[in-house]
Structure 1
Amino acid sequence: MSPAVARYRWLALVSYLGLLVWVLLWQFATGYSEHSLLFRTLVYVVPLLFPLIGIIRGKPYTHAWANFILMWYFLHSLTMLYVAPEQRWWAAIELLLTTLAFIGCTWFARHQGRALGLGLKKLKDEKKESGN
């Protein structure tokens, strides 16, 4: 793994784990939520756990699809910035961590995937190989 790819992996791993810890603190250590413990766990914590093992193991494909999950937290933080002035700092940190995790996951998946020969071929390349 090249040093640049290792930095992307580090950025993805640290910011993703930081987001998980931040969400846990925000949802369970503060008294801001009116929802039940079960609801907060299912909606805010469980989605982050789905790709966690693959991110820890450094799997490019998992880093790529983890971005779909990160978009939930991106939208949540933007919404909270707008509607809940008393929680702006919590939402701003969530937005920062989500953005960093998105950047790290995207670039790691792209560069490590290329290094491993993974990825989708372009249609014109497939046509050349098949002779059409």
Structure 2
Amino acid sequence: MISRSTQTIQKLRLGASISLIALIILSLAWESILAPIKPQGSQLILKAVPLLLPLFGILNGRRYTYQWASMFILIYFTEGTVRAWADQGLSAKLALVEVLLTSIFFVCTIYYAKLTRQAAN
């Protein structure tokens, strides 16, 4: 039987993985199709590239990746917060989605790192 702690860890891994993948997709769609700064697309589409750095570590459950990615994601949280306040229309709504996804990712990574600390020691 799977322990309650193991189930929680699996849910946190799933939450972090889904929110990171959704954030990558959101970044690509936002800056290419949905609400680019320029009508033909924007160089801001490249903001999705750094999100690929922690992807495999998150998917594989590497505790160290969860630790540094929890701080790394705050850059995207800040961008989403600023653009939600400064942009208008669809871009502002997409920024709120970015804030939501980064918040979910942050909470999942923090608690994953905390709950897996005992196993790492």
RMSD over aligned CA atoms reads 2.0
Instruction: Give TM-score scaled by structure 1 length.
Output: 0.78
Pairing 1:7-86 to 2, within 5 Å after superposition: 7-34=11-38, 39-42=43-46, 44-86=47-89
Identity score, percent: 26
> After TM superposition, what 4+ stretches of structure 1 lie above 4 angstroms from structure 2?
35-38
**Structure 2 vs 1, CA of residues 77 and 2 (structure 1 numbering), >3 Å: closer, same or farther?**
same
**Structure 2 vs 1, CA of residues 39 and 88 (structure 1 numbering), >3 Å: closer, same or farther?**
closer
Which whole-Å CA distance do the structure 1 matches of 2:94 and 2:42 have between them?
Answer: 21
Gaps of 5+ in 2: none
Give the superposition deviation at 1:32.
Answer: 2.2
Gaps of 5+ in 1: 118-132
Between structure 1 and structure 2, the one with the greater Rg is: 1
The letter for the 2-side match of 1:92 is L
Count of equivalent residues: 116
